[in-house]
A = this chain, B = another copy of it.
Amino acid sequence: SDLGRLTVQCADRPGIVAAVSQFLTDHGANIVESDQATTDPVDGQFFLRMTFHRPGLQAHLDDMTKNFTKALVEKFEVTEWSLRDASTPKRVAIMVSKYDHCLLDLLWRARRGELPVDIGLVISNHADLASEVRTFGVPFVHMPVTRDTKPEAEARQLQLLQGNFDLVVLARYMQILSADFLASVGCPVINIHHSFLPPFAGAGPYERAKERGVKLIGATAHYATEDLDEGPIIEQDVVRVRHSDNIAALKRRGADVERLVLSRAVLWHCEDRVLRQGNSTVVFS
Contacts and interface: CB of A to CB of B under 8 A. Distances in A.
Interface of A: 2-3, 12-22, 24-25, 28-38, 40-42, 44, 48, 53, 100-101, 104, 108, 112, 114, 135, 195-199, 211-216, 218, 220, 232-238, 242-244, 252, 255-256, 260, 279-283
21 contacts: A12-B32, A17-B17, A17-B21, A17-B24, A20-B21, A21-B22, A22-B22, A32-B41, A33-B36, A34-B35, A196-B197, A197-B220, A197-B236, A197-B238, A198-B199, A211-B280, A213-B279, A213-B280, A213-B281, A214-B233, A215-B233
| Stoichiometry (number of copies) | 4
Contact of A218 (B14, B35, B197): B197
B197 A212 contact: no
B214 A236 contact: yes
A240 to B, nearest CB: 8
Nearest to A212: B280
A281 B243 contact: yes
A218 B40 CA distance: 25
B31 A38 contact: yes
Contact of A18 (B24, B35, B108, B252): B24
B14 A25 contact: yes
Contacts of A112: 100-101
B243 A37 contact: yes
Contacts of A215: 233-236, 283
Contact of A41 (B30, B198, B236): B30
A191 to B, nearest CB: 14
Contacts of A14: 25, 28-31
Q: Could you say which of A100, A233, A243 has the most chain B C-beta atoms within 10 Å of its C-beta?
A: A243
A213 B238 contact: no
Contacts of A197: 195-197, 199, 218, 220, 236, 238
Contacts of A252: 114
Contacts of A21: 15, 17-22
A212 to B, nearest CB: 6
Contacts of A244: 33, 37
Contacts of A19: 21
Q: Could you say which of A211, A233, A260 has the most chain B C-beta atoms within 10 Å of its C-beta?
A: A233
B35 A25 contact: no
A235 B252 CA distance: 18
Nearest to A218: B197
Contacts of A36: 31, 33-35
B22 A18 contact: yes
